[in-house]
Amino acid sequence: MTQFIEQAIGLFISDAAAQTAGSTGASTLQGLLPMVALFVIFYFLLIRPQQKRQKEHKNMVAGLAKGDEIVTMGGVLGKIVSLDDNFITLEISKGVEVRVQRQSVQAMMPKGTV
């Protein structure tokens, strides 16, 4: 009976795995090392630059003032006529004004562009 159990266990566990069962700590660390390295690479190549762009955009939107010329994310070019906490009124042509959300501002343009 014991011989049958040993043969059954031998089918599921190879002899090499049974011999190296004592050194699983080092192999676990070696298995996690590539994943940690990938996370570090993703952080410096993707996450950190995106956070930097978000911070710059937030500062630009907070610093908008009446008379600034901007481009919205929809591609509308205009001059700021008035602004409040959430919305900006743009003059896109003489007598034509449009209200847009502050967060939809994509970029500031140099003076005299409009």
Tens of pLDDT, residues 46-78: 999 999 999 999 999 999 999 999 999 999 999
Mean pLDDT for 16-36 is: 71
| The pLDDT value given to residue 86 | 94
The pLDDT confidence band at residue 92, using thresholds 50, 70 and 90, is very high
SS3 of the chain: the string is: CHHHHHHHHHHHCCHHHHHCHHHHHHHHHHHHHHHHHHHHHHHHHHHHHHHHHHHHHHHHHHCCCCCCEEEECCCCEEEEEEECCCEEEEEEECCEEEEEEHHHEEEEECCCCC
pTM, 2 dp: 0.66
Contact call for residues 59 and 95 (beta carbons, < 8 A):
no
**Structurally, what CATH architecture does the domain formed by 66-109 represent?**
Roll (2.30)
* Token pair for 52: 């930097």
Asked whether residue 4 carries a pLDDT value surpassing 90, the answer given is no
* Token pair for 83: 């602004």
- Pairwise pLDDT comparison (46 vs 5), residue with the higher score: 46
